[in-house]
Structure 1
Amino acid sequence: MLPWAVLALWLAVLALAGPLAGRLADVQQNRAVDYLPASADSTQVAKVQDALPGGEATELVVVYHRDGGLTGADRARAQAQIGEIARTHRLTATPTAVPSKDGTTVMYAVASTQPGQDDDARTAFVDDVRNVTDGGGGLTAEVGGAGALNTDMKGVYSSLDGPLLYTTVAVVAVLLILIYRSPLLWLLPLLVAGVADGAAMAAVYGLHQAFGITVTGQSQGVMTILVFGAGTDYALLLVARYREELRRIPRPYEAMRAALRGCGPAILASSGTVAAGLLCLLAADLNSSRGMGPIAAVGVLSALVAMVTLLPALLVLLGRRVFWPLVPAYGSRPPQRRGLFAAMGTSAARRPAAVLAGGAVLLGALALGALHLPGSLKNEDAFTTAPESVTAMQTLARAYPGSGTQPITVVAPTGRAAEVLAKARTTSGVATVERGRSGAGWTELFVTAEAAPETPGETATIKALRAGLDSRFGAYVGGASAQQIDLADTSSRDRWIVVPLVLLSVLLILVALLRSLVAPLLLVVAVVAVWGAALGIGGLLFGPLLGFRGTDPVLPLLSFVFLVALGVDYGIFLMHRMREESRSGAEPAAAALTALRTTGGVIASAGLVLAATFSVLITMPLVSLVELGLVIAVGVLLDTFLVRTYLVTSASLALGRRVWWPGRLSRAHPAGGATIEVLPHPASRP
C-alpha cells in the first residue's frame, strides 16, 4: 500500500505545483542592474530613475551607416524616422544628430520615459523603434544602447527555458540508455527528475513571492541542470544498491527497504553537503549570486526527495521486470569480472606516493592556465552571436574611435544639481554633461566620457566622478559601464566571504560524517585542486580556442561553489564505503581498493551524467553560460576520473590508518583484525 500512497501524494503535488511552476518565467529579472547589490552606486541610480517622472528611462542609440559615406537622402531618411519616433513616444529630449568625422555614420540618442515603463513596456518601445528605423540600398539602421542590450538579453533568457530543458533531457536519456541497457529502466529516473524539476520551480516561485529572492534566467537554468544531474546521480546509486539487494531478497518491497537503508545515508549526506555549500551564496552581496544559492539548493533537495520517495515507489510497483533484459534474479550472483576500476586501483596500489605526486603536479600545471583568463566580460562580448544591440555599438566604435558613445548617468539631489553639473564638467576624462529630468528630489545628468565605452579610460572617468561626487554632494554614478564595474568589484568581494564559508561548512559536515579530520581535509584539498585545474583549462580554451574576449566576473565564485559541493558529493560515496569496509575488518589497503571497485562504476556513471548536463550550457548563446558550463563539466570529469579514482585512493593507500585520524579506526585494528577478500561488488555496475 505504501508505494501507491507515495505515488498518489506525488500526483497531488504535481496538481498543485503545475500552475505555480508555469509562472516562474514571468518573475525572472534579467536586466544588468537586477544582478547588482542594493548598495551599489549603479543600483541606486536605477532606483532614483524609477522614481522620476515616467520611471527609469529606456536609453537607446540609433545608428545609421553607409560604408562609402552618408548621402543627403540618407540623412533625410534618418531624420524623418527619428521624427516619427519622437511624435509617437514620450522622449526625455528631442534627439539630435551626431555625425562621425568620416561622414559614414550618424547617431541619435533616444530615451523614453513614457508611462508604464515596466519590462514589457520597455521591450515594446525597443521593438517599435526597431520597426520604424529602416535602411536599405546600402544604408544600415541599427538600434543599440543599454535599453536595446537589456531587451536582447531578456529575449535570450526567455528563449532558454525550452531548449535548455529539452537538451538536458535528451542528453540524460541517451546516457541512461547506455548505462542501463534496458528499454524501460532508463525512463524512470528521467520521469522522476522531470517531476522534481516542476516541484522545484513551484517552490522557487513561492520563495520569490514570499521573500523577494532574485530569479534570473541563469539561476533557473542552473537549477534545472542540477535537478536532472544530481537527481540522476542519486538514482544511479539507489538503483545499483537495489539491484544488489534483489539478488539477496525475494520481495522487491523488502529489497528496496534494504537498499534505502544501505545507500540512504550517503545520498542524504551528499545532498545535504551540496545544499549547504550552495546556501553559503546567501552571504554574497551580488543579487544574482545570493538568489542562486537558495534556488539551486531547492533544486537539489527536490531531486533528493523525489529520488528517495517517488523513484523507489515506481521501482517497487514495476517489480523485477523493470530491469529486463538484465533481470537480477533472486539468489543469483553478478558476473565476476575484473573491471576498469579494479585495474586502476591495482595500478595506484603499486606506487601510491608516485601516483599522488604525479597527479598533484598535473593539476598544478593545469591551474597555471588560469593566469591566461581574459579580463572582465564587456557587454558587447556577452553573446556568442552578436545581436543588433551589439553590432550597433561595434559600428559606433569604428565610426567614433576613442570617443564616448554611451552615457554615464549621474543622479544628484536637486538642491545641489548645479554644483554637481559644474563639478562633473571639470572632472578628468569628461567630454560633455547634459541635464535630464528632475523629480522626487533628484536631478538626472548624462555624462559623456572622452574614452570609448568599457575601456580603461572610461573606467578611470567613472571612478573619478564617484570620488568627486559621492561623498561631497550625495550623488550617485551609474549607467551600463558603471554596472559592469560594480559587478566585477562586488564579485571580487563576495569571493573573500563565500569561499571560506563554503570550505568551513563542507569540512564540518565531512568531519561529522567520516569521524575524522584527515579524510575530510583530503577531500576538500582535492576538490579545490580540481577547481583550480578546471579554471586553468578554461584559461587555455576561452580566448585561444573559443575566441571569448572576457571572463564573467562571477565565474570563479560560482564554479568554486558548484565544483566543491558536487565534488565532495562523489567523495562522500567513496570515503563512506571505505569507512564501512574498514569498520567491517578490512585492512586499510583492502578497504581503499574495495571502496574504489564497489563505487567506481556508480561514480563514473554519475560523473558522466553530471558533466553532460552542465555541458548543455555550452550550447547556449551567452558567453557567461558557456564559460560556466565548460568549467564545471571539465572539473567534474577531472574529479571523477583522476582525483576520485587515482589521487584520493592513492592518498588513502599512502596514509593507511592515519586517514581516519583522530577517530577510532586510526588507532587500532577493527575487531578480529581480519583481512577481507577483495572482489568486484554488484554495485560497481549501475
Structure 2
Amino acid sequence: MIRALTGFSTRHPWKIVALWSVIGIFLALVAGVLTPRVTQAAGGDFLPKSYDSAAALQVAEEKFGVTSDTSTLTVLVGRPDGEPLTGPDQKHLASVAKELGSRRVTMPDSQDTPTKSDDQIPFLATDHSQKPKVSVGMTAPDRTFALLSVRLEGNTADTGMHNLFRAFREQAEDAFAEVDLRTGFTGGLADHVDTRDAEESVQRVVGLLMLGLIVLVNVLVFRSLCAAFIPLLAVVIVGGAATGVIVVGALLTGIKLDTSTPSMIGVVLIGIGVDYFLFLLFRFRELLRERPDVAPRAIAAEVGSRVGTAITSAALTIVAAFATLGIATYEGFRVLGPAVAVSVLVMLLASLTLMPALLAITGRRMFWPSHALKRASRPGLAGRTGDFVARAPLTSILCSVALLGALAVGMTGTRMDFGQGGTHHETEAATTAAEIARALPAGVSDPATVYLTAPEGDRVSTASLGELSGELTRVEGVGKVGAPVLNEQRDAARIDLYLTADSQTQAARDLVSGPVRDTVAAHTPKGMEAHVGGTAAIFADISSAVDKDLKTVFPVAAGLIALILLVLLRSVLAPVVLLLSVGLCFAATLGSATLVFQHALDKPGVNFVLPLVLFLFVVAIGTDYNILISDRIREEMEGPRTARAAVARAVRHTAPAIATAGIVLAASFGSLAIGSNASTQQIGFATGLGILLSAFVLSIVLVPAAAALLGRRIWWPVRPRRRHGHSGHAEPAAPVRTTADHHPESPTTTG
C-alpha cells in the first residue's frame, strides 16, 4: 500500500502537487469561515449531564433562556471625579441603561442593514446585530460607582462578536459621556476581546519568529533555500486541509470543538509535518550521494517507500494515543483526541503522496545551492555520538537515566491547578475588575448561581425560598446573596451568590463544591430540585471529570501503544525498552514543569490538562522518534556489521534528522509559552522540553545504547539475520568505518 502510494505520486508528481494545493487552499478558506460555527468557549458544555453544574446549565437554558452562547458583561458607571453618585446621576444612569437596552447594536460595517436580508446565504454570513439585555445591578457601598449587567448572544470566539462588543462599548461610552459619567467594562466578552487585542501583536511576532526559526534551522542543516521553504509551504497547505476536514466534519456531525482545538491542531501539524518531511529529506540526500547515477525520481520513490513505512508506524502511534481520548467522560477531551488523530492521518497521507512528489519534481535541485551532494558525508558530531554510544552503551544508559531521574524527582508534591489560566496583561477589563473588587465581593462580576425547579404543575414563590437564602448568607465565603428571581412561568427560581473569592480560584471551587452545595442540599424546599452553577462550580466538576479520565486514559493509551509497537517491531523486548524510556521521559518532563512553575514561580500548581497533554505528546512523539531510530538500527543490523557497528552507523545517519526535527517541533510548541495565558505557557514550555528530551536523550542516546548493549537480542523473537551481501540500502564499495567497527562484540553482547 505504501509502495503503491509513493510510486504513483512520484510517477505523477505535478498532478499530486496540484491536487493538494487546490484542496488545501479551499479547505483552509472554508475553515476560516466556519470555525466560529463549530467552536464554543463554555467549558461546562463539555461536561456530562450527570454533573451538577451541567444540570444547572440545562435549567438556565430551559427556564431562563441563558444559553452557552450568552455572554454577560459587567459595566461600571461612575463619576469622572471619583465622587459618590448623586441622585441626578442615578436617574441619568437608569435612563441611559434603558436606552441602551432598547437600541439595536449593529456591526460597524452594517449600520444601514441592521437585520440580515433574506437573500443572504446563511452558510457564509452571520449577522450578529441584536438588542442587548441591560439591567441595573449593585451599587458600591461608598456609592462611587454602580454596575450594569449586559447580556449579548453569540460565540465569544467569533470575531463578529468581538466587533459587536466594540460597537456596544462605543455606544455606551458616548451615551454616558453625554451625562458626564465614565464607564468601564469587564467580564465575559470584554475580558476575551481585551486580552486578544493585547496579545495580537505579540502572537503575530511569535508566529513569525517560529516560522523564521524553522527556516533558519533548515538553511543551516541543508545549506539550501529550497529545502528550507518547500517543506514549510507544503506543511502549511496540508495543515489548512486538515483543519478544514475537522471543521467541516464537526459542522456535519453537530459536534462542538473547544476554541483552542483549531490552533492546537495547527501547532501539532506544523511540527509533525516538518518532522516527517525532514525524515524524507535526510534519507533522500543520503541516497543521492550514494547513487549519483540513479535518477532522482527513482530515489524519491524508494525513499518514500522505505521511510514512509517508519513514518506510517510513527503516525499510527500518535493516532492511537489520541484516539484513546474518545473514552474520556469530559467531552472537551473526547472531541480533541479524534480531531488531532484525524488531522495526523491527513498529514500522514500527505507524507506518502505530496512530499515524495515534491522530491521527485525538485530532485537534486532541492539542495541548491549547496554542493554537499558532490562530496562524501563526514561523520561529524552525529558520527562521534554514534561511536561513543556503541562503544560505551552502559555509561550512556546510566547518564541518560540519571538525568531523566533527577528531573523526575520534581514530580514529588505535584498539585493540579484547575484555574483557567489568568493573563498578565493590564487590560482595561482587568483594571475595571480590580476596581470593582476593592469595593464589592470579588465574585460580583461572575456569581455562582443556585437554580431551583418545582415539580411539573407546581409553582415557586419567593417566600418559600427565604430559608435557603438565609442559610446561604451564613456560609463563610459567601459575601452577598441576591434576591430570588423567578422565571416567567414561575416554575423555576435563580439565586445569585457573590463570593468573596474570585470565581477562577481554588478557594471558590472548594467553596461551591463543598459548603455551598451541602447547604443547598440540606435546605432546598421539599419537592424542589436544586443545582449549583457558575464558573467556580463548572471548574470544580471539570476537575473531578479530568481526574477520573486521567486514571482511565493513561493505562489504555499505554496498552494500545505497546500493542502497536509489538506488531510493528515484531519484538517483545524492544517495545519494553521504548515504553520504559518514554515513560521516564514523561516523568522527567512533568517533574521539570513542577519545579519551574509550582516551586520556582510559586504558582498554585501545574495546569490540570498538562499531565494528559504531556503524556500524549511526549509519549506519542517520543515513540515517534524511537520508531525512526529503531527502524534504522534494525535495517543496519540486517547488514554484515556487528550489532554495535550497526548502532553507530544508524545514529550517525539518523541523529541529524531526529535532532533537527526535535528542534523544529519543540520550537513549534514552545511558541505557545510566549504569551500571557498561564496555562498555555505551561503547556508550551513543558511540551517543548519533553520533545527535546525525547529527541536528544531518548532517541539519540538511550535507545541506541540499549540496542548496543543487548545486541540482536533486542529484536527477539524475530532477530535480524546478518547478511553479508546487500544490507537493504546502497553503500559505497568500501563500507563506512566507525569506531565501533574496531570493537568486535563478545558472545555476551552479540545476540
C-alpha deviation, 1:78, in angstroms: 7.2
Question: Alpha-carbon deviation of 1:571?
Answer: 0.3
Report Cα offsets for 1:202-251 as digits up to 9, x if no partner. Answer: 10111111223332332111211122111111111111222233342521
Q: Deviations over 1:369-388 (max 9, x none)?
A: 34476652535x52232433
Say whether 1:443 aligns with 2:489.
no
Instruction: For 1:608 and 1:256, locate their aligned partners in 2 and report how far apart those are by CA, in whole Å.
Output: 25
The answer to whether the 8 Å contact 1:24/1:201 transfers is no
What SS class does the counterpart of residue 108 from structure 1 fall into? Answer: strand
- Of 58, 69, 85 in structure 1, the residue corresponding to residue 97 of structure 2 is 85
The answer to whether the 8 A contact 1:173-1:187 is kept is yes
CA distance in structure 1 between the aligned counterparts of 2:501 and 2:356, rounded to whole angstroms: 62
Q: Which stretch has the larger CA shift, 138-147 or 514-523? A: 138-147
| Alignment partner of 2:147 out of 90, 93, 108 | 108
Selected match of 1:278 from 311, 316, 322: 322
Which of 451, 461, 466 does residue 411 from structure 1 map onto? 451
Q: CA deviation at 1:604?
A: 0.6
- Of the candidates 702, 713, 719, which is equivalent to residue 665 of structure 1? 719
Aligned partner of 2:264 in structure 1 is 222
Return the alpha-carbon distance in structure 1 between the equivalents of residues 149 and 686 of structure 2.
40
2:225 corresponds to which of 157, 174, 183:
183
Paired position in structure 2 for 1:598: 653
2:55 aligns to what SS in structure 1? helix
Q: Does 1:37 align with 2:44?
A: no
* Whole-angstrom CA distance in 2 between matches of 1:632 and 1:647: 20
- Residue 522 of structure 2 corresponds to residue 458 of structure 1: no
After TM superposition, the structure 1 stretch with the greater mean CA deviation from structure 2, 364-373 or 627-636, is: 364-373
Cα distance in 1 between the residues matched to 2:335 and 2:718: 41
What is the distance in 1 between the residues matched to 2:571 and 2:307?
A: 20
The one-letter code sitting in structure 2 at the alignment partner of 1:80 is H
d(CA) in 2 for partners of 1:2 and 1:251?
15
What's the % identity of the aligned pairs? Answer: 27
2: distance between equivalents of 1:372 and 1:145?
A: 34
| Contact 1:491 1:557 (C-alpha < 8 Å) held by counterparts | no
Indicate how the Cα distance of structure 1 residues 459 and 612 shifts in structure 2: closer, same or farther if over 3 A, else same. closer
After TM superposition, the score normalised by the length of structure 2 is 0.79
Q: State the alpha-carbon separation in 2 of the partners of residues 320 and 126 from structure 1.
A: 54
Q: Are the aligned partners of 1:105 and 1:399 in contact in 2 as well (CA < 8 Å)?
A: no
Structure 1 residues 640 and 201, CA gap change in structure 2 (3 angstroms): same
For residue 45 of structure 1, report the CA deviation from its aligned partner.
2.7
When structure 1 is superposed on structure 2, of 77-86 and 37-46 the one drifting more is 77-86
Q: From 358, 363, 367, give the equivalent of 2:399.
A: 358
Per mean C-alpha deviation after superposition, the further-off stretch among 397-406 and 287-296 is 397-406
CA RMSD of aligned residues (A): 3.7
CA contact (8 A) 2:38 2:250 kept: no
Offset of residue 293 of structure 1: 1.5
Structure 2 unaligned blocks of 5 or more: 1-10, 103-131, 728-733, 740-751
d(CA) in 1 for partners of 2:429 and 2:367? 53
Cα pair 2:594 2:605 within 8 Å, conserved: no
Distance 2:443 2:20 in 1: 60
Q: Output the amino acid matched with 1:444.
A: R
Please state whether the residue corresponding to 1:61 is helix, strand or coil.
strand
Cα distance, 1:127–1:489 mapped onto 2, change above 3 Å: farther
Residue by residue over 1:120-163, the C-alpha shift from the partner in whole angstroms, topping out at 9 and shown as x without a partner, is: 79753586257525799x99743223454455567789999966
CA shift at 1:582, angstroms?
Answer: 2.2
Residue 241 (structure 1) aligned with residue 252 (structure 2): no
| Alpha-carbon distance between aligned partners in 2 of 1:130 and 1:81, rounded to the nearest angstrom | 16
Q: Say whether 1:26 aligns with 2:36.
A: yes
Secondary structure of the residue that 1:584 maps to in structure 2? coil
Work out whether residues 321 and 327 of structure 1, in 8 Å CA contact, stay in contact via their aligned partners in 2: no
Residue of structure 1 equivalent to 2:731: none
Residue 259 of structure 1: CA displacement? 1.1
Q: Do structure 1's residue 8 and structure 2's residue 53 form an aligned pair? A: no
CA contact (8 A) 2:28 2:240 kept: yes
* Distance (whole Å) between structure 2 residues aligned to residue 386 and residue 586 of structure 1: 63
CA distances 1:431-472 after superposition (whole Å, capped 9, x unpaired): 424223415754322123355544555334312333454697
Quote the offset at 1:608 in angstroms: 0.8
* Equivalent pairs, count: 668
Which residue of 49, 55, 59 maps to 1:48? 59
Q: 1:321 and 2:365 equivalent?
A: yes
Deviations 1:4-34 (A, max 9, x none): 2223322442464244232243235342336
Residue type of the partner of 1:664? V
Deviation of 1:482 (Å): 1.5
TM-score, reference length from structure 1: 0.86
Shift of 1:619: 2.3
Separation in 1, partners of 2:45, 2:713:
46
Question: In structure 1, what is the equivalent of residue 310 of structure 2?
Answer: 266
| 1:684 paired residue number | none
Offset, 1:613: 1.0
Match in the other structure for 2:335 = 291
Q: What is the 5 A alignment of 1:167-182?
A: 167-182=209-224
In structure 2, relative to structure 1, the CA distance for the partners of 1:573 and 1:58 (3 Å cut) is closer
Distance in 2 (CA, whole Å) between partners of 1:397 and 1:373 is 31
SS in 1 for 2:449: strand
Equivalent in the alignment of 2:467: 422
SS in 2 for 1:201: helix
Q: Does 1:201 align with 2:255?
A: no
Q: Are the equivalent residues in 1 in contact too, given 2:210–2:671 (CA < 8 A)? A: yes
Secondary structure in 1 matching 2:487: strand
Structure 2: how far apart are the matches of 1:268 and 1:232?
Answer: 15
- Larger displacement relative to structure 2 (209-218 or 165-174): 165-174
1:394 aligned onto 2:434: yes
Aligned 8 A contact 1:192 1:307 in 2: no
Opposite residue 633 of structure 1, the aligned amino acid is G
- Distance change in 2, residues 1:606/1:416 (3 Å): farther
